[in-house]
Each structure stands twice: as C-alpha cells, then as structure tokens.
Structure 1
C-alpha cells in the first residue's frame, strides 16, 4: 500500500479524478482519498512511479509518497 501527499485536490470531483487516474494504471486498485489531509492511500500491485505519474498527469502534483 502507498500513501501519497497530493496537492490541488479541493472537491469530490478532484477525488474522483485521482481515483480514475490510479485505476487506469490498475483497475483493481483500492483508492481512498482524504481531501482534508490531502492524502491518497492506494492498495495496488502496480509500481509506485506509475501511480505517481498517472496522478500527476491528471493535474494533481504528488509532493511526497511512502510505502506503508
């Protein structure tokens, strides 16, 4: 599981955009978005860099990430 600090998320639409971008990389990924904390938790077997790139490509900069 990965925990990412993602900037630019302000609403449910942003959260859905992040969710869709992650699931484009791994359709079975479980994505939990905490808008208040600007954190995204992802359960996936995909590579962390691929997940970060997909989120960034959707317009949301990933400023920090860790494997949990």
Structure 2
C-alpha cells in the first residue's frame, strides 16, 4: 500500500483525475481517496511508489508520500468468538 497527501486536491473532479491517472498506469490498482483528509491510498502490483507519484504529478497535482494506514480489524463483542452480540 502506498499513500500520498495531495493538498491541492480540492473537489470530486480532482479525485476523478487522480483516480484516472493511477488507473491509466495500472488498471488493476485499488485506489482509496479521502477528500476531507486529502489522502490517496493505492494498492498496485504493477507500479511502484515513484511511478504512482509521477502519474499523479502528470495529472497536475502535488503528492507527498506519507505512511499508509492499515485497516483496523473489526472489534469482537466481549465473550464472543465471532463478534455477534448474542
């Protein structure tokens, strides 16, 4: 997982342009964008961090590499092996 902060990403159009730039480089890439925090997270097997950064720059934006945030596993209910509330 590669993550960037893109401070000049301000609207849905920006999100679309960045997504298209990444997908052009790697059509199978998984792109998760949080506009509020200006965070772009990319999972790509075909492109490395430098290539992804260049693709975003060529789309007209200024990505800054940041540490990727791993998804937290769901919390299980106390006393339950599967998380259900019974």
C-alpha deviation, 1:63, in angstroms? 2.0
Q: Where does 1:49-68 land on structure 2 (aligned, <5 Å)? A: 49-66=50-67
Relative to the length of structure 1, the TM-score reads 0.90
C-alpha deviation, 1:67, in angstroms? 5.5
Higher helix share: 1
In structure 2, the residue matched to 1:6 is 6
Q: Where does 1:16-55 land on structure 2 (aligned, <5 Å)? A: 16-45=16-45, 46-55=47-56
Moved over 3 A (4+): 65-68
Relative to the length of structure 2, the TM-score reads 0.72
Q: Distance in 2 between matches of 1:65 and 1:50?
A: 15
Q: Is the 8 A contact 2:41 2:68 kept in 1?
A: no
Which structure's relative contact order is higher, taking Cα pairs within 8 Å and 6+ residues apart? 1
Structure 1: runs of 5 or more not aligned: none
Higher strand share: 1
